Structure 1
């Protein structure tokens, strides 16, 4: 499937009309989240790097025109104006890893109108999904309070590529490993994994399974101990680890039941056996809510493995995001539809201490003590700097998280910071609204 044709049909029909009408003046579209999902105190900007890869390689080829024509049931010649269209515009965006809030642009595209229009759907798809998953993973990091987290989401992800993204986004916010081998290799993330219950079931006994596994993998091993009876499984694992003189770096994994109570009993049993270095890993339907509960009750869990609910952002699987035209041919524009009003003009977000943000116009000077969040990341269709790294994105995330007010960090009932709007943006919005309303009234009277 071509990335060019992975778009909504109306993007094609509008772009074609713009080309035929010779409407190719520069247009600026702003991509932002209208409102944060319930239960979210912040979002983590993510998806920019793959978005820039997409824009860098965007070009409508002959086969794309053929697919467009087939979808529209039109002769190929009718779609010929689209052939050869590529992206040569500018992009300003919030770097990956920064915390963002409602109404703040994640990205602004300025390009000839047909180009800027045709890339809308793919950009929304990339940034919305990845920002949603990164934000869910970040809340797990907050809940874990310094304990390591591992991504186990691939098998329940919404497709293999979504699983790859989940592993990358977990690493972006500080996860220490992933079970996804392809993602581990692609992104340089440590691979992590143990064994399945089926492995235990194929042997005559749990102990035989543990010993066989240790023979194949003589380095640090982690035994899954809840296939039959968790307490007995822990005792068996302790016996095998002692017999084989394995300890430091090894672990036992709890995957079901009352994880807090089981972890306390497992810790006591391992300590009594002289295996204080053996870690306890917990998995099984965990997300930030489960992790937070276990941490708060003092469960002696060393590592949390999170999967399904995090990789799918289960409680908030989508963002109410929009990609709206804010300027065309040098003139600011806005939408006045009820509950979906947009602010006109190219914008900037000015960030002060404790993440006190002001949304203003792009040509405003940064107020004293603030920094501008949106950076120019693409000019004339080319990246302005080499691709960003996970290490750099993680550093940005950690710095912003340290500044985030405690009430926004809360797992339950967080309070979301509300950005202010600059005086200049407020004035422009009022002026554009009045101009549109006056034109509308004149049209009714005509």
Structure 2
């Protein structure tokens, strides 16, 4: 859910283009695709997130009197166009890949089919929302993969780039696999678990560490995780924690959760020593949590060193996706309505083949290996195409067009990824809860081959074109190339 109406969350040129279309009398239907070109962190996949906020944005997409007055003050827009905006509402269709789904470069994540002015206006907000939440959900998925089943707690709010990034970023992190967040507002808005115990300031506020631990244990006996690195982890922190646990145990204490947390130092060395101290004292079921500038690479390294850590608090590097701070999604025109009402495919050319777009009104299909139930490839087709898994399927590489692959009949299954979200301006999709989306994401990640999930040189998943789409694209490239030659 959102607390803010985002109509004017748009780039100025979207509005100037809208007025230009309005003056030209252009009201025809178009198709725009939102997609991205490269996985974050040079990974093998990404996670789709942000659709729920897009839905909320579209539902609220109207211009208030204050919006119109502000636009009038810019001395750019004519009164007849401003009147059009005053009556504006979305009337088109939107298709999207559901949140939590594994996604790959170049495939449409959101497809808008609407009158040109409506579709143009939505570009900035859709990209702003999808780019951010896909980025953080993907980072969370990578961090969770490194932890190999240990709980990952999202702890990044104070380092996020503002309240919205912290709140929606925490939501995306839970979608990607985190067990919860320290962000209480995210917990309230999206009904996800909130987590956390105390900071060093709690310890420092008391005469000594033991007293601080004892008071905390008295007040929160069922969630007693003590931060042991304020002064000296092994000489003071862990011994004082053990002392408090021993005293509480003697009183019949049976906590739901207890243990220690470390936020500094050599986490591999310290946690192994702390684990032995806890075990020797009879607290083998005490958990050890760690924080301290963690990311997937640090966690992977600590795991390989045998660090005795049961859960991980990940902050800055997760909520900002520090290594790859932007997702790079784009929003491109793919088709425009012709005089007869049909959609005419459009293509954007570039000297960089990665930036040549795929034309037309499209669907995305996920191809699964029938034997192993893993993703074999994704297929981008025209929207009206159907495929029979009991027939051979030929798919074409979109860049190296001489490459094609035959998938034999009976060895694969298909699932369409783009589902209806809005029809004729009305929302027809019911969003799952965030925790339900996290479960979807877990199943989606299980459908990836391990070679795609590895961090170093992951296998690049095929995102290929159908025969029909390949031919349409090739014909458009040839047509535009001939026009360029004739103009020389």
- Aligned partner of 2:88 among 79, 85, 90: 85
Q: 1:38 to 1:174 in 2, by over 3 A?
A: closer
Aligned runs of 1:36-47 on 2, under 5 Å?
36-47=39-50
The alpha-carbon deviation at position 371 of structure 1 amounts to 1.0
Deviations 1:77-126 (A, max 9, x none): 66333222111110111100111111111110000000000010000000
Aligned runs of 1:139-154 on 2, under 5 Å?
139-154=142-157
* Cα distance in 2 between the residues matched to 1:241 and 1:125: 48
| 1:373 is the counterpart of 2:412 | no
Give the corresponding residue for 1:250: 258
SS at 1:223 equivalent: strand
The more displaced of 74-83 and 127-136 is 74-83
* Greater RCO, CA 8 A, separation 6+: 1
| 1:363 is the counterpart of 2:374 | no
Q: 1:418 to 1:292 in 2, by over 3 A?
A: same
The alpha-carbon deviation at position 72 of structure 1 amounts to 5.1
- Aligned partner of 2:243 among 224, 230, 239: 239
TM-score by length of 1: 0.95
Deviations 1:62-83 (A, max 9, x none): 2222222334555766633322
SS at 1:400 equivalent: helix
Give the corresponding residue for 1:384: 428
* Cα distance in 2 between the residues matched to 1:86 and 1:123: 16
* Cα distance in 1 between the residues matched to 2:89 and 2:421: 17
Residue pair 1:30, 1:107 contacting (<8 A) in 2 also: yes
| RMSD (Å) for aligned C-alpha atoms | 1.8
Deviations 1:230-272 (A, max 9, x none): 1120111110111122464111000011111111011000011
Give the corresponding residue for 2:367: 352
| 1:335 is the counterpart of 2:348 | yes
Give the corresponding residue for 1:229: 232
Give the corresponding residue for 1:25: 28
| 1:297 is the counterpart of 2:305 | yes
Deviations 1:178-226 (A, max 9, x none): 1111111222222211111111112111111111222332332111000
* Cα distance in 2 between the residues matched to 1:299 and 1:71: 60
TM-score by length of 2: 0.87
- Aligned partner of 1:136 among 125, 133, 139: 139
The more displaced of 57-66 and 4-13 is 57-66
* Cα distance in 2 between the residues matched to 1:256 and 1:331: 59
Q: 1:84 to 1:358 in 2, by over 3 A?
A: same
| 1:9 is the counterpart of 2:12 | yes
Give the corresponding residue for 2:469: 425
* Cα distance in 2 between the residues matched to 1:392 and 1:280: 28
The more displaced of 315-324 and 386-395 is 386-395
Q: 1:166 to 1:2 in 2, by over 3 A?
A: closer
* Cα distance in 2 between the residues matched to 1:213 and 1:44: 38
Give the corresponding residue for 2:314: 306
SS at 1:370 equivalent: strand
Aligned runs of 1:265-280 on 2, under 5 Å?
265-280=273-288
* Cα distance in 2 between the residues matched to 1:82 and 1:428: 36
Residue pair 1:16, 1:82 contacting (<8 A) in 2 also: no
The alpha-carbon deviation at position 38 of structure 1 amounts to 4.0
Residue pair 2:5, 2:57 contacting (<8 A) in 1 also: no
Structure 1: runs of 5+ lacking an equivalent: none
Give the corresponding residue for 2:402: none
Deviations 1:160-190 (A, max 9, x none): 1111112212221332121111111222222
- Aligned partner of 2:328 among 316, 320, 333: 320
